[in-house]
Amino acid sequence: MPATDPEPRPLAGTVLFEESDFRALSAAYAGNAEYNAHRLAARRRLLTLGKGVAREAATLGTQLDCRTSLHHPHTFNGNRVNRLWAYLTRPKKERTKLKRLLGSDLGKDLDSAYRNAYLCLAIESDALEVSLRIHADAWYDGQNLKKRIEAEGLQAWFKELDALGGFRLRLADWKGEWNCGSLTPERLEEFLDYYVPGEHQLAIEKRYPAPEENRGAALEEAAAPELARELLRLLGVYRFTVWTEEENFLFRG
């Protein structure tokens, strides 16, 4: 997100998605600046939800910062807005600690939210999504995960994923799927054999289809609380994954 783009104010009251939130991200309007106000409204809804999740996570012992993505066409997003999302990622204090470990060259880009493992709330023209994502550029969190599993074994990660029925583990844009709740240790080992931090994105995601002809559930009042609840289910695997001073496996072995 460009440094000059300020975060909008979150909404007050109940979050309720609207038809225009989805339409403004469709192929016909994604590059149309006249739909910026609609995309801003959707962005504010995501920010409200994200900040609510961050407050709840704090009561559970996990501090998270919340930011949102750019809502207007810009060179930064290829002059099209096909997707809006809220990032929930390690706060500044934790980024500073990681920067010290990595050094100035490797740690210089940590302030970009996607360069850290992050929890995500997203909206597209035909779907809503909650996920945990490790971008290829957040290689240090991906490496921390792999090194932790090497040091402690697969069982703890398997247990976290097994509790996430309805989510799927995904590798970059590969077509293969690893469905949480029905995984086996052998399938997870297969995934780890393929996954290379710094080369691949890792995602644990749950998508809610909302095509134009069948958007009803996404527009109901229950949709936003459902997204928040499901995102909070990812806290355990998030904590298992990310680098912290206490769970520092980054340069082992």
pLDDT tens, 220-239? 999 999 999 999 999 999 99
Residue 6 buriedness (CB in 10 A; 0-12 / 13-18 / 19+): exposed
Which residues contact residue 109 at a Cβ distance below 8 angstroms, ignoring those fewer than 6 apart? 115, 137
- The pLDDT value recorded for residue 12 is 85
Q: At residue 134, what is the residue type?
A: I
Residues 107 and 47 sit within 8 Å (Cβ to Cβ):
no
Q: Which domains does the chain have, with CATH numbers?
A: 19-241 (3.30.930.20)
pLDDT surpasses 70 at 106: no
Residue 246 has pLDDT above 60, yes or no: yes
**Which residue did the predictor score with more confidence, 80 or 106?**
80
51-63 burial code (b ≥16 CB/10 A, e <16): bbbbebbeeeebe
Measured in whole angstroms, the distance separating CA 8 from the mean position of its chain's CA atoms is 19
Exposed, middle or buried: residue 250 (CB in 10 Å: 0-12, 13-18, 19+)?
A: middle
Compare 112 and 13 and report the one with higher pLDDT: 13
For position 202, what pLDDT does the model report?
96
Cα-based angle 51, 120, 12 (whole degrees, multiple of 5):
30
With contact defined as beta carbons under 8 Å apart, do 86 and 67 qualify? yes
In one-letter notation, the amino acid at residue 186 is: E
- 26, pLDDT greater than 60: yes
What's the rounded Cα separation, in Å, for the pair 122 and 130? Answer: 6
Would you say residue 163 has pLDDT above 90? yes
